[in-house]
Structure 1
């Protein structure tokens, strides 16, 4: 709700107001403008100016958006590992995932270089994937920096494996665009086949599991990604 640009534009009074709202969001969502003004020792005019700075026409719209934001922050129940794995196998293995993995393995076999990309937990798995593929005989690298210089010798006839749960990570999309410019074939593993990452990939392998959050962090299980990566690597070895 509050972007870095918005926060940087606040004056001292607005920053004080922002700090109070951040620490009391559940309470503020049901306050009247005069009550908030009294609590924060600012004028109602300051509050209205603050609302406009965060793209709200008035205090009522601000409270609606704040309630929606609070709803998104509500802690969700976390599935057991058994439930997550069962969900993956029930939803995914009934589809064409095996064909997708065979297609990916064939494409990778014909490539000279395999490049893994991803951020956050996907970045950790991208690094793991590069190591696992290399262990299985297909030398691979993990590139964290989208501006990392790649010699033409490695760019030519390369395959990029992009990992992203949401398929909308800006950093990963930026890397994909850079690699597509040098004609790298993109294989993506995402939780949504309709995501941007999936749509701009040559091959997309989706795994359908419930997205889970805890304390504002995405804790969606990554077991399906490990399964897919190891399955493809073993197909390459065979």
Structure 2
């Protein structure tokens, strides 16, 4: 497999039966434990039957549980897993806090290494000459969209952020050639966002997708910046993926600033100076 086993799990998750998804989620949360388990142990922990575990392995294109454990062990040995943290009863603050940090650092390194520099360059080039830049996102991705709008506003680019489906629909319908949309999604499967992206493309805008590769959204946008993060959102809200999206936005913003030349530095200094009156005086950082 060219992709890591966890990537394969993400891709196949929606295609699995509900009982098989229980197995997949247990594997994502406890990969190191699964390597040492018998099939009866995994079935018991995931609260499914042993035949379900076998069906899960075959759905992942493997002959059986032993082959699955071998692939999982090989992936863990290479350090290529997305270390999905889990919180267990009785776990100390230090243990779960370190787990969250370690998981995030590992995932960000994976996202960094998989970003296509040519695609980043194309996205930056489109943003530099854009007449108007709109950021679309829902939920946690809506927060990322708002942060992105703030960054591009500081670069004196006409921009807006929309996390309401009606506003996104109206925005997309009024776009034209020379406008850019950045559509942000942790799953790439939000129906309203996919619809807005299609509308924006039809209107002539360039649509950049920050979303998983091979997702419905990635197939509708003009250009995809793949952010493939395996994250257990059944219990937790998106966390690591949100940080990956924020960093990717930072890369785009810095790229745009560099392309706009030295004059942008003076503009940013003027903005910072104007904010001085709003801060309490002191010797600390601004």
For normalisation by structure 2, the TM-score amounts to: 0.53
2:102 alignment partner, one of 75, 82, 93: 82
Q: Which has the larger radius of gyration?
A: 1
Instruction: Check whether the contact 1:146–1:178 (CA below 8 A) recurs between aligned residues.
Output: no
Q: Which has the bigger relative contact order, CA under 8 A and spacing at least 6?
A: 1
Other-structure match for 1:24: none
1:21-67 deviation line (CA, Å, top 9, x unaligned): xxxxxxxxxxxxxxxxxxxxxxxxxxxxxxxxxxxxxxxxxxxx775
CA RMSD in angstroms, aligned pairs only? 2.8
Shift in Å at residue 179 of structure 1?
A: 1.6
Give the whole-Å Cα distance in 2 for the aligned partners of 1:69 and 1:193.
20
Output the CA distance in 2 between the equivalents of 1:123 and 1:137: 21
Q: Report SS of the residue matched to 2:199.
A: helix
Question: What displacement does 1:70 show?
Answer: 6.3
CA deviation after TM superposition for structure 1 residue 131, in Å: 1.2
Report the secondary structure of 1:213's partner residue: coil
- Pick the aligned partner of 1:165 from 166, 177, 186: 186
Contact 1:115–1:141 under 8 Å retained in 2: yes
1:102 aligns with 2:121: yes
Match of 2:132 in 1: 113
Deviation at 1:111, TM superposition (A): 1.5
The 1:230–1:219 alpha-carbon spacing in structure 2 relative to 1, beyond 3 Å, is: closer
Q: What corresponds to 2:280 in structure 1?
A: none
Aligned pair partner of 1:198 in 187, 198, 218: 218
Tell me, which stretches of 5 or more residues in structure 2 are unaligned?
1-16, 30-84, 87-98, 259-286
Among 120, 139, 151, the residue aligned to 1:132: 151
Correspondence for 1:186 among 207, 212, 216 = 207
Q: Where do 5+ consecutive residues of structure 1 fail to align?
A: 1-64
| Counterpart for residue 209 of structure 1 | 229
Answer yes or no: is the 8 Å Cα contact 1:136–1:234 preserved in 2: no
Tell me, in whole angstroms, the C-alpha distance in 1 between the residues paired with 2:208 and 2:252. 12
Distance (Å, rounded) in 2 between the aligned partners of 1:234 and 1:213: 30
- Corresponding residue for 2:261? none
Q: What is the CA distance between 1:115 and its match in structure 2? A: 0.7
Q: Secondary structure at the residue paired with 1:173?
A: helix
8 Å contact from structure 1 (residues 146, 174) kept in 2: no
1:147 aligned residue (148, 166, 175): 166
Query: C-alpha distance in 1, partners of 2:173/2:112?
Result: 38
Distance 1:160 1:84 in 2: 27
Other-structure match for 2:245:
225
Report the CA distance between 1:150 and its aligned residue: 4.1
The separation in 2 between residues aligned to 1:95 and 1:153, in whole angstroms, is: 34
Aligned residue pairs total: 172
Counterparts of 1:152 and 1:163, CA distance in 2: 18
Match of 2:196 among 164, 172, 175: 175
Taking a change above 3 Å as real, the CA distance of residues 169 and 233 of structure 1, as seen in their structure-2 partners, is same
